[in-house]
Structure 1
């Protein structure tokens, strides 16, 4: 057990791959610092294989496992809010249902919070892979200091959501998770910025993130472009960005998310937005 208690929040729904989900669960429990609590939200009906994986995991981790079974799918934002309410500790680590933590992820994040107690939210680098975790498709590195992250937020999402550990009170203060098409996390970071939260990112890989061609498809199309454009306009209305930055951000997104074919968008992500 850690000297600093913390919760891990996960959500799973019917379309999550059962094998990948099992690997994600195992990576959360096989840590150098074991979580004090794992809160898992089942967002609506799930396949039997996923349910069996949950039951097996619960038997092995009954002392720290808290299961919330929603009979109807409510969506990512609402499911995370429901889970967050049930987290009993101030520090909460987010974990996606198909990614894999490094075995020292929580140890590194807790160490940072201990040294920098003023921090509201802490993320880190992700290494992206498809089928083989040892073959990296790229790393998504982000600014590490609060001042750098505040500047970056005006251009792009400044945190890798699947890596974050945050103070529950600071997220609730900003309004929690709210639905925003494929951008619930960016929307939350913007609102935390407005509420005065202190951001930081580790300069270490702490999560292996699974990607495939659907990942790049989700970052394209008219709906995604409109969602991103509205988010940029929200920042403009809140005086985070000026009219010139707003125009530039929307034009870039129109080209990348709507004009570019998926194969070129993938190439752009891997060669310009990743290391």
Structure 2
């Protein structure tokens, strides 16, 4: 048996213990979210409500307050906690530590083996968790994602859809070039995340891809459900954050890290790094065109 096969067997067998015999409708799960001072209160409220409207409702929502929050955001959290005191677990960080550190601490506060990620400005469609839990449990997987749509104002009026790889082999190959998942769509086995080292703050802007690659390297089993189950909010700032000279150093640091860990080969490093640097150097309007027209399935308007 090859090393990767041994890791895959170990990852899936350890993580399946204790819950694989249960129907997915009986398995409790936690939702892991993080919010910081720049988030808009109405977006956070909509994101929380979308998890309450799931056909398979969460047993716990862990909300990490990543540093001090303005009164408007605190009011949303306090109101939600008052209405759902047994559901909400607040993790309050004294100062802003960044997404990787916030999610690492939040993961440790999740009391269930199954953990669903959700961003504080996105929207989960009502059947998201039912479909992801069914696949995760029935196929004995370690983490599951889905396609997503992008929207500006209304989740029911998307502007683009992702074209992510679906099966294990294609996901592993794709992960050598681009992120094969959309973070807010992910559902994990907590034990698999911790076995891979949990979230890290080492690579700013690449906290999710870093974790995914470490889990894949550990032999974790995964699929992407080939339908959009989450709507991600985008605007001009969304694409602006993925460009500029300053962003190049984060791209470089992450890609060099993947090379040093031997997850990327030298040819893969070159094929991944050069196109990303080119996109970083584009004007924001052109970069937006590349993301929405060339790197997505298509537009809806």
**TM-score range relative to shorter protein:** over 0.9
Deviation at 1:198, TM superposition (A): 1.4
Deviation at 1:8, TM superposition (A): 0.4
2:153 corresponds in structure 1 to 131
Q: Which has the higher contact order (CA 8 A, sep 6+)?
A: 2
Q: Give the secondary-structure state (helix, strand or coil) at the position aligned to 1:251.
A: helix
How far apart, in 1, do the equivalents of 2:265 and 2:90 lie? 44
Deviation at 1:93, TM superposition (A): 0.2
Gaps of 5+ in 1: none
How far apart, in 1, do the equivalents of 2:34 and 2:277 lie? 31
1:177 corresponds in structure 2 to 199
How far apart, in 1, do the equivalents of 2:27 and 2:47 lie? 23
2:78 corresponds in structure 1 to 55
1:121 corresponds in structure 2 to 143
2:19 corresponds in structure 1 to none
Structure 1 residue corresponding to 2:127, chosen from 104, 115, 118: 104
Q: Give the secondary-structure state (helix, strand or coil) at the position aligned to 2:72.
A: helix
How far apart, in 2, do the equivalents of 1:104 and 1:42 lie? 27
User: What count of residue pairs does the alignment treat as equivalent?
Assistant: 273
1:87 corresponds in structure 2 to 110
How far apart, in 2, do the equivalents of 1:161 and 1:41 lie? 16
1:241 corresponds in structure 2 to 264
1:268 corresponds in structure 2 to 290
1:45-77 deviations in Å (ceiling 9; x for gaps): 111111111122112222222112222222211
Contact 1:27 1:103 in 2 (8 A): yes
Deviation at 1:23, TM superposition (A): 0.4
Whether 2:218 is the aligned partner of 1:195: answer: yes
Deviation at 1:2, TM superposition (A): 3.8
Gaps of 5+ in 2: 1-23
How far apart, in 1, do the equivalents of 2:137 and 2:121 lie? 29
1:14 corresponds in structure 2 to 37
What is the TM-score with the length of structure 1 in the denominator? 0.95
How far apart, in 1, do the equivalents of 2:92 and 2:267 lie? 46
2:9 corresponds in structure 1 to none
Structure 1 residue corresponding to 2:100, chosen from 69, 74, 77: 77
Contact 2:136 2:143 in 1 (8 A): no
What is the TM-score with the length of structure 2 in the denominator? 0.87
